[in-house]
Amino acid sequence: MLLSYLPVLLMLGFATFMSLAVLYVSSILRPQNPYSDKLSPWECGMEPVGEADAGHFRVHFFIIAILFIVFDVETIFLFPWAVILADKSISLLAFIEMFVFIAVLGVGLVYAWAKGALDWV
């Protein structure tokens, strides 16, 4: 029984060895010349000003990213539903559940919009 797990253990060991070897070789070969411009914080490719210069970044960029991920996941859930809907082999309960799912995400979008999370300032 344990012999059947041997290929998995070998693959896990090989993947671990290769990842550690690549990290080690890259630490040897990379250029190591830190200077102040390279070590300064950047905010989306712009010069840090104000609080960003001290390492404090605005949360707005992260809120936009989280909202993008939420609605991207919604799209992933809608594709299989649309395929099943095209075959007309979906039950009424599944049809209603998907509209409840869309309504909950719609309420979340309206809430984020009302709070100004989508305003780019």
Closest CA to 67 of 32, 106, 37, 36: 106
Cβ neighbors of 41 (< 8 A, separation 6 or more) are 48, 52, 53, 55, 57
- State what percent of residues in the chain have pLDDT above 70: 83
First to last CA, the chain: 61
The top-scoring range by mean pLDDT among 1-10, 14-23, 34-43, 72-81 is 14-23
Rounded (5°) CA angle 58-73-117: 30
Q: Single out the residue of 11, 15, 119 nearest to residue 67, CA to CA.
A: 119
**Residue in 72, 78, 110 with CA at minimum distance from that of residue 95:** 78
Give the start-to-end residue ranges of the domains of the chain. 1-31, 51-121
Does the structure show a pLDDT above 90 at 28? yes
pTM, 2 dp: 0.47
Range list of β-strands (E), the chain: none
Q: Is the pLDDT of residue 68 over 80?
A: yes
Residue 87 CB: number of other CB atoms within 10 A? 7
3-state secondary structure of 81: helix
